[in-house]
Structure 1
Amino acid sequence: MNSENVPCCHGGYEKMHRFLEFCLLLLLKEESSHGYGLIEKLPYFGFSSEELNIGNLYKTLRKMESQEFVNSHWVEGGQGPKKRVYEIASLGLEELNIWIEALKRRKVMIEKAIGRYDKISAAQGKSPDSALASE
């Protein structure tokens, strides 16, 4: 994610790397895909093109395959070379379900925190946006 989307995350690479794994599982639940197909869909989740590196993506996919979250197989590439196609494995589906439940709980917590911040800002006579600008 670019710094505009996450302005206060110091040292958050590992956390964002784990979020990348979640996004890959989600995309592979939707449909099997090769690496370049996956990297084209990741900006939807807020990843910038600067953050997306095909080498790191394949490294992550290999790690996920060693954890048995995904499977891969080679398919003929038509006129081009063979392509490795990834698909979600049953263990990956379980991991995805754990992730989504955790994210739902965090969403509720985040919404409460934002709501409280907005309420405090309003009580202090500041709009939430102007309060952010003055920090």
Structure 2
Amino acid sequence: MIDIKKCPCMGINLDKLIQPAILTLLSAAELHGYIIVQKLQETCILQGKRPDPSGVYRCLRLMEQRGLVTAVWNVSDPGPARRLYTITDIGLECLRNWIHTLENYHRSLGNFLVSAKNAICSRD
């Protein structure tokens, strides 16, 4: 039997939106990876849950390989050197595409919710 708390219906798959969330953060400012992890926790996508830092860094590396972000070592700040991430023009284009795609999903989900509610009401 399924554990309902681990069911996708509980929103556990919203972390799949990490890439557009990172791009959104970087569209506002250059950030260190650690700050990105902290700010992601504050986004509504993760509902206050701390993201897996290693997963975020994997995503950042992949995004860098794809040309969506660039990273440079920041050695001017006190303490250990840290990578400073910046969104690229391709990353901004990708974010625009995410916005368009998510707007379409939003409309489709709205239609689906109306149908699902009607189906439940007809059973009552």
What is the TM-score of this pair, normalised by structure 1? Answer: 0.74
Residues 1:93 and 2:92 are matched in the alignment: yes
Amino acid aligned to 1:34: H
CA distance in 2, matches of 1:89, 1:68: 7
- Note the residue ranges of structure 2 that are not aligned, 5 or more in a row: none
CA distance in 1, matches of 2:23, 2:91: 7
CA distance in 2, matches of 1:103, 1:73: 30
Which of 16, 31, 34 in structure 2 is aligned with 1:33?
A: 31
CA distance in 2, matches of 1:98, 1:110: 18
Q: Which residue is 1:82 aligned to?
A: 81
Q: CA deviation at 1:77?
A: 5.5
CA distance in 2, matches of 1:61, 1:118: 39
Q: Secondary structure at the match of 1:46?
A: coil
- Note the residue ranges of structure 1 that are not aligned, 5 or more in a row: 126-135
What is the TM-score of this pair, normalised by structure 2? Answer: 0.79
Once superposed, which parts of structure 1, at least 4 consecutive aligned residues long, lie more than 4 Å away? none
- Native 8 Å contact 2:75 2:81 kept in 1: yes
CA distance in 1, matches of 2:8, 2:67: 33
Q: Which residue is 1:113 aligned to?
A: 112
CA distance in 1, matches of 2:8, 2:57: 28
How many residue pairs end up in the alignment? 116
Equivalent runs, 1:1-135 vs 2, <5 Å? 7-8=7-8, 16-17=15-16, 19-43=17-41, 44=43, 45-46=45-46, 48-49=49-50, 52-76=51-75, 78-125=77-124
Structure-2 change in CA distance of 1:77 and 1:58 (3 Å): farther
